[in-house]
Structure 1
């Protein structure tokens, strides 16, 4: 299993299929969801019926693929998560040289550099032994 070392302020652990509550918690703020789906909060039913089965398709602790929870080292507060998965994982032709990275943080933790710090730490650890990966891409809504 890949381990992502702690960064200056943060620790990381892969979310499992038993962690629906962590995914749900972040998705309860309309501002967090604004650029994901227009501001609609996720229901627990959506987390269980859509997000967890999707996670199961690409979850690979050995490769570091999955959703990494972010916790602050000083108080273990749960800030949100960073996703790493093969680009096009759910298509007939997933990319073999491109990984997708994405993140969601709870609003109280915005603007403090946590997302950048977490994404960089996780990307470095995941890419360290994957010379076949040539691109790390993020997707955003144009608006």
Structure 2
């Protein structure tokens, strides 16, 4: 089983016990406002999401981790890698993303987990490049992207929702520099 420990977090695969806490995160409109069309997910939608995340792990050898606090074992969100479905400019890339429960914002958890995930992608999985797709105006995610050392490459428009997206990237040579 793939696990990553940081000073405060455990990044791991999904278990049945994660369904309810993740559904509570996914039901928070403030958490979901920057994701897709901003719709929240109920218990069934969250179960389908976990199933898709686990399938990606099985198919690709990487995926979105369940993130828990080491001190309490509490699930605080999702951080990891995925093959993006869009926009078209990144469908051949591997994307890093994160979503944490609102009570865990502003404490450095997203940056800590994303940094560990980026190291996993580039060093353990041997990926040459990772991108992050950020909706314009999401300054908190932009801050995490900057901390990762990712470089803004271009802007595009989300083909389905029509809002501005910013695409950032980093390759192995930039990461090791």
Kindly tell me: are residues 100 and 53 of structure 1, through their superposed partners in 2, closer, same or farther at Cα, counting changes over 3 Å? Answer: same
The aligned counterpart of 1:60 is 58
- Note the C-alpha offset of 1:17: 7.1
The aligned counterpart of 1:140 is 134
Q: RCO higher in 1 or 2 (8 Å CA, sep ≥ 6)?
A: 1
Q: TM-score, normalization: structure 1? A: 0.75
The aligned counterpart of 2:125 is 130
Q: Which whole-Å CA distance do the structure 2 matches of 1:110 and 1:137 have between them?
A: 22
Q: Which whole-Å CA distance do the structure 2 matches of 1:79 and 1:18 have between them?
A: 13
Deviations 1:51-72 (A, max 9, x none): 2453254223882x12211111
Kindly tell me: are residues 99 and 109 of structure 1, through their superposed partners in 2, closer, same or farther at Cα, counting changes over 3 Å? Answer: same
3-state SS of the aligned residue for 1:138? strand
3-state SS of the aligned residue for 2:10? strand
Structure with a larger share of its residues in strand: 2
Instruction: Confirm or deny: 8 A CA contact 2:32 2:39 kept in the other structure.
Output: yes
Kindly tell me: are residues 87 and 37 of structure 1, through their superposed partners in 2, closer, same or farther at Cα, counting changes over 3 Å? Answer: closer
Deviations 1:35-79 (A, max 9, x none): 114543212232234x2453254223882x122111112222221
- Note the C-alpha offset of 1:121: 0.9
Q: Name structure 1 gaps, 5 residues minimum.
A: none
Q: TM-score, normalization: structure 2? A: 0.63
Pick one of 47, 56, 76 that aligns with 2:73. Answer: 76
Structure with a larger share of its residues in helix: 2
The aligned counterpart of 1:25 is 24
Instruction: Confirm or deny: 8 A CA contact 2:80 2:117 kept in the other structure.
Output: no
CA RMSD of aligned residues (A): 2.8
- Note the C-alpha offset of 1:116: 0.4
Q: Name structure 2 gaps, 5 residues minimum.
A: 138-177
Number of aligned residue pairs: give it. 134
Instruction: Confirm or deny: 8 A CA contact 1:12 1:68 kept in the other structure.
Output: yes
